[in-house]
Amino acid sequence: MKTLNIGLTAVLVLSLAGCSWLGLRDRGNDYLLAEETEPTVIPAEMQVDRAAALGQLYPIPLIPTTSVEAEGFEVPRPQPASVNTFEQLVKIQTVDGRRWVLINISPSESWPRVRNLLNRNGIPSALAEGSTGIIETVWVTFNSDEENSHRFRFSIAPGVQIDSTEISALHQEVARGSEEGALWPDMSNSDSREQDMLTIVANDLASAENFASVSLLAQKIGGDAKVEVITPAAADPYVLVKLGFDRSWASISYAAARGGFVIVDQNRSEGVMYVNYTKPSEVEEGFFSGWFGGSDSDVLKTNYRVLIETVGANVEVRIVGAEGESLGQAESLRLLKVLRSNMS
């Protein structure tokens, strides 16, 4: 037993000493000494489009200014988690004649899944451009149509919901033999074939057990996010939505209903929602509160206004007081984050 104890002690000492006991330097912390290298420079005589294809392999994103200086020393309550966070969501949405598949995973996870779906079904890609989120298939034929050739263009872009993806499809058909030089139409030549293709994509995404595959070479697939919280230095914050008014209005209405807001009244033509919102700490009731009848305080009253305004090609969303007064940066930002977390 004494010999066994000595042997175990020796093994423990050697494991703690690591490779240094054998004269080898421990390189476990060498990454702390790594230095930033200059990006690759494309010679001027080479094609310009090649320069656009090169970029940082692991870019460090800028930290957006979405917070304000602390007021006082009271620690605020944490923001409630979005209802969408706990859902496994794959569905086909249609707004303003546009149709797309919505899934609550990031575009970098959706991209390899869509490409794998096409490969498994024997549909090669003629173009796969991660920076724009575009996948174009080669011309294919269907047994039900012997006269025409068909192809699809998939657009993969960040969704309105946080960490979500919108996948749309454009269908084109031309007579066989006239594929060369055909230009993509503005709308699908066949609405039914577009819908069938999106249904196939949605079913495949919904049947997946996990989404472990991530595209590291196209971390900004489809461009920037459609929704941002903007915090100006000398003005109240607002939510910038890079969509049309109709889609923005529908998204804000959906977010308000799921984020704890109650819409008391609304004026779509003026872009105003009259809402009631109560902090979570204020709605906690006592044990005997449900034993007695209600009171006049149960009548919902407007305590905030949500202003939705078209500015150029985008929409700006602000929250003000019941009479249109400013709430200040801290209060506005808190309420806007509640809306933003539930937008879809």
Query: For every one of its 344 residues, what pLDDT tens digit does the chain have, with 9 covering 90 and above?
Result: 555 555 555 545 555 555 555 567 778 788 788 887 777 777 777 755 554 556 666 666 666 555 555 455 455 555 555 545 545 678 888 877 789 999 888 888 888 889 888 988 888 899 988 878 899 999 999 888 889 999 999 999 988 888 889 999 999 999 999 999 899 999 999 999 999 999 999 998 888 766 555 555 556 676 778 888 888 878 889 999 998 899 899 889 988 888 788 899 999 999 999 999 887 655 445 554 445 555 545 567 889 999 999 999 999 999 999 999 999 888 898 899 888 888 87
SS3 198: helix
Angle between helices 329-342 and 245-258 (to 10 degrees): 100
32-62 residue pLDDT tens: 888 877 777 777 777 555 545 566 666 666 6
Distance CA 248, CA 226 (A): 10
Predicted local confidence at residue 283, as pLDDT: 47
Cα angle 154, 109, 105; round to 5: 95
Helix runs in the chain, H state only: 2-17, 48-53, 107-120, 191-207, 245-258, 329-342
Distance CA 91, CA 87 (A): 12
Predicted local confidence at residue 156, as pLDDT: 92
CA 175 to mean position of chain CA atoms: 38
Predicted local confidence at residue 304, as pLDDT: 94
Asked if 309 contacts 239 with a C-beta cutoff of 8 angstroms, the reply is: no
Structural domains in the chain, CATH included, are 83-207 (3.30.310.170), 227-282+299-342 (3.30.310.170)
Asked if 181 contacts 94 with a C-beta cutoff of 8 angstroms, the reply is: no
Predicted local confidence at residue 112, as pLDDT: 87
SS3 136: strand
What is the radius of gyration, based on Cα positions, of the chain? 27
220: which 2 tokens?
């900004």
Measure the N-to-C terminal CA separation of the chain; round to a whole number of Å. Answer: 67
Report if pTM > 0.75: no
